[in-house]
Every structure is written in structure tokens, then in C-alpha cells.
Amino acid sequence: MSQETVTFTLDGVKVKATKGQTIMEAADAAGIYIPRLCWHKDLPSGGNCRICTVMVNGRPAGSCLFPVEDGIVVENNTKQLKDHRCQVVEMHFIEGNHYCPSCEASGECELQALGYYTQMLTPTSPYLRPKYEVDASHPDVYIDRDRCILCGRCIRASEFLDGKCVFSFEGRGIHKRISVNAEHNLGETNMEASDRAATICPTGALMIKRTGYRIPVGKRRFDIHPIGWDIEKKKKSG
Amino acid sequence: MAKPLIATQHLTSCFGCHMSILDIDDRILKLAKMVDFDRSPINDIKEFTWPVDIGIIEGGVSNDEHVEILKDFRKNCKVLIGIGSCAVANSVPSMRNTVPLKECLEEAYLNGPTIVDGGIIPNDEDIPILLDKVYPLHEVVKIDYFLPGCPPSADTIWNALVALLTGKELEFPYELIKYD
């Protein structure tokens, strides 16, 4: 069966896509980076973080979920959307307790990288300084909820890639937390360090023990190239 | 015409950002031709001689003396820059923010593993009173520019100073803005 091709407009440029693709998938294929946090290539889209919001025919939509259609007009790289994304990144920083200078995830963290991408020099709103619990009960993996941005990647990875359902959300609104499928803590679950969920966290909220600070400063993932560089590279190299 | 004046100060910090200022190497000779330093730990002047053009503050706000110093800087500086993660964001000093202050002091002075024969929490009137939390500068006074980093690199500080002194916009290449 041949795949139906559609054409839509992305920031004024005509982009060809396959029917059934999301706007983000089509943009990636065309070498246009749309910032994202909760999305991961091996997982079903979550639509939690709202960083990838674009304007579709003048209305906001999550590009990781919205399917391409023939003739739609999509805006991505506008001042309004850039400001929106910077605000969302700022809110993530003030709602958690992110100590970048001492964090093992620094340089590898996608939230931090999006801060650089959106040119956030510092969060300008007051910090909320919430009290969160660290769960270090597991011999090989720990949860530091200070760094959790509630993207749900670990939940989806555990369910769809590992077939385990180790994680879930609990609470609502500002009280929302990542929780584990056990009476007390992560150590009681069937989580293993080899699970995909253990390495899928975009920040340092879910980390494998005894692996931090191994890559020297200057050689980490986002030290040299900005996030999305690999996608934009496709366009530059044709 | 008189040269622009710069003042600098450190609050709760490790002095690393001031080290980074000195790390501009021989460009410090150029800087000395461009500006004069007023109040600063570099020349050990402890009070403003007169109002200055640029104030640079390193470190978070963690006691009542810091609040007074910061307000004094805001009053006497046309442009006030926060440099380093402690001053502009969450960093090592602010790690105490999720623990109540009383518990922090008790752990440090009464119950810590190195305390012998009971301890005492310092309570002299000459010692500044700790605030409940460690605050970034902009939660206390208005800050005009932020330079993140732990510390911001010498190039970041140099670029910012040159841009301000020559009236250009502050623009940084990707590798010069880092939060760690």
C-alpha cells in the first residue's frame, strides 16, 4: 500500500510529509527542530510538557500529538512561541529544586539544554522551593524528585519498553509526584539498572548509581552543540 | 572624561566568580584602562566613595547584612549585574532551603558527628542573622543583567563588560552561557 503524501506549511516553508505522521515527526524529517522534553523517539507521545506547542492554523497544539494534514499552516519559530517556551522552561526550574552546578546530569540534561536553547539566563520568577523526597532504596537506581519535571517518560518506558509498570503519577496539580508501584519505595519493585526506564529521564531525576561525573566538562552532550543540533544538521547537509 | 566606575561584592559564595574576573588574564590591563574600581574586595575598599556605573555581585543572599549590602549596591549602581549561579539561581548555598533553618543550625552546632561534649549555636550580636532561606539577588532587589555559570567563564564576564562599556547589546556564543 502506498503511503499518502501531504504538504503543509511550517514557518512559511512547504514541507512534504506522510499522512499519519505527527507535526513533530514531519518537522524532524525535514530537518526542522521543534523543542521537546517529554517526547522520546522510542515512546508513544505523552503531551505532558507543552514545550513543543506550535500554532496550527492560528491555534496552539502539541506538535508531538497533532497529525499533519494537507494544507495546514504551522508556526514554530515565532517570538510568541519562543517566549512561551522560555516561560515553560522557567516554570520547570522554579517548581523543582535544580542545583545545576553540583548535579550529575549537568551537561547531559535536556531541561538545562532547553534553558540554553531558549536563551534563559535565569528563572525570573521566585523559586517555590518545594520539599521532595529522594528514594535511594534501590541498589543501582535512585530517584531524586527535586529534579523531576513530571514528563512521564519513565512511566511510559517502564510500561511500553520494559513491560513492568514500575512508575506512575500520584497527586494532582502542584502536589503531583512520581511514585513507584510498591508499598514503600523503589527498592521493593522489580526495577533493574538495565531497564530502559533507568536511562530515559531527560533530567537527573532517575539516575543509575555510581555513574555520575564520568564525562569531563567540555565533552558532555550539550557542552558544544545545542539541543536539536542533530536534527537541524540534516537540513544543513541536505 | 572620567572613566566609568565599577564596584564588586561577594555575598554567600566561594569567591570563584571573582577568580573568574581575574581569569581574564592580560585583558585586565585593558580593563584597567577602560574603568576604575571603587568598592571591591579586589582593592579592599569597603564603602562606596561615590555612586558607580556598574555593580557586580557574586553569591546568594543568606543573612541580614547581605540584604543591606545589596540594597546599598542597588542605590549606588546605575547597572547591577548578578554573576554566578549562587547569585542568579539555585546553587550550593541554597541547598539548605529545603531543610528548616533550625535543623541546619542544630546539625552544624549541636548534633553533628564532630561535636564533642555538646555545642552551642552562635548568638553574638556582631554575627549577622541568617535568613530563613538563601535567596537569589533578584528576589531581593531589581537586577539588570544575569550571568549564570559556576563560575561564568572569564570570556563571558569580559564579553559582558565590554558590551556594557561600549554600549552594545549583550550577546553570547552558545558555549559561553552555562548553568554549571
> How far does A231 lie from chain B, in Å, by closest CA?
17
Please write the tens of the pLDDT for every residue from A152-186. Answer: 999 999 999 999 999 999 999 999 999 999 999 99
**Structural domain harbouring B20:** 5-95+132-177
Whether residue B166 lies inside any domain: the answer is yes
Q: Which residues contact A157 (CB under 8 A, 6 or more apart)?
A: A40, A42, A43, A195, A196, A197, A200
Put simply, the answer to whether A121 touches B146 (Cβ < 8 Å) is yes
> Could you tell me if A107 lies within 8 Å of chain B, comparing CB atoms?
yes
Put simply, the answer to whether B147 touches A112 (Cβ < 8 Å) is no
Closest Cβ opposite residue A106 in set B95, B138, B180: B180
Residue A147 near residue A104 (C-beta atoms within 8 A):
no
Helix or strand run (H / E) with residue B75: helix B64-76
Put simply, the answer to whether A93 touches B136 (Cβ < 8 Å) is no
Say yes or no to pLDDT of A236 above 70: no
Nearest CA in chain A to B151: A101
pLDDT at B118: 81
| DSSP per-residue codes, chain A | -PPPEEEEEETTEEEEEETT-BHHHHHHHTT-----SS--TTS-----S-TTEEEETTEEEETTTPBP-TT-EEE-S-HHHHHHHHHHHHHHHHHTT--GGG-TTTTT-HHHHHHHHTT-SS--SPP------EE--SSSEEEEGGG-----HHHHIIIIISS---EEEES-GGG-EEEESSSS-GGGS---TTSGGGG--SSSSEEETT-TT-SPTTSSHHHHS-TTHHHHHHHHT-
Put simply, the answer to whether B89 touches A129 (Cβ < 8 Å) is no
> Could you tell me if A117 lies within 8 Å of chain B, comparing CB atoms?
no
Contacts of A93 in chain B (CB under 8 A): 89-90
pLDDT at A2: 62
pLDDT at B95: 93
> Domain residue spans in chain A?
5-77, 85-212
Whether residue B117 lies inside any domain: the answer is no
How large is the ipTM?
A: 0.93
Whether residue B126 lies inside any domain: the answer is no
Contacts of B178 in chain A (CB under 8 A): 116, 223
> Could you tell me if B157 lies within 8 Å of chain A, comparing CB atoms?
no
The backbone torsions φ and ψ at residue B54, rounded to the nearest 5 degrees and listed phi first, read -125, 125
CATH code of B32's domain: 3.40.50.700
The count of structural domains within chain B is 1
Put simply, the answer to whether B146 touches A126 (Cβ < 8 Å) is no
Put simply, the answer to whether B90 touches A121 (Cβ < 8 Å) is no
Please write the tens of the pLDDT for every residue from A29-40. Answer: 999 999 999 999
pLDDT band at A3 (very low <50, low <70, confident <90, very high): confident
pLDDT at A237: 65
pLDDT at B116: 86
> Could you tell me if A219 lies within 8 Å of chain B, comparing CB atoms?
no
C-alpha cell, A131: 520539599
C-alpha cell, A22: 505527527
Fold of the domain spanning A85-212: Alpha-Beta Plaits (3.30.70)
> Could you tell me if A169 lies within 8 Å of chain B, comparing CB atoms?
no
Contacts of A130 in chain B (CB under 8 A): 98
Closest Cβ opposite residue A127 in set B82, B90, B147: B90
> Could you tell me if B90 lies within 8 Å of chain A, comparing CB atoms?
yes
Contacts of A112 in chain B (CB under 8 A): 179-180
> Could you tell me if B136 lies within 8 Å of chain A, comparing CB atoms?
yes
Please write the tens of the pLDDT for every residue from A90-136. Answer: 999 999 999 999 999 999 999 999 999 999 999 999 999 999 999 99
Contacts of B148 in chain A (CB under 8 A): 121-122
Render each residue's pLDDT in chain B as its tens digit; 180 residues: 689 999 999 999 999 999 999 999 999 999 999 999 999 999 999 999 999 999 999 999 999 999 999 999 999 999 999 999 999 999 999 999 989 999 999 999 999 999 988 889 999 999 999 999 999 999 999 999 999 999 999 999 999 999 999 999 988 999 999 999
Q: For residue B37, give the 3-state DSSP assignment.
A: strand
The answer for B 16-75 residues in CB contact with A (under 8 A) is none
Q: Does domain A5-77 have CATH number 3.40.50.300?
A: no
| Cα–Cα distances in angstroms (integers) from residue A42 to residues A38, A148, A227, in the given order | 12, 20, 18
Whether residue B100 lies inside any domain: the answer is no
> Could you tell me if A226 lies within 8 Å of chain B, comparing CB atoms?
yes
Whether residue B164 lies inside any domain: the answer is yes
Whether residue B165 lies inside any domain: the answer is yes
Whether residue B101 lies inside any domain: the answer is no
> Could you tell me if A127 lies within 8 Å of chain B, comparing CB atoms?
yes
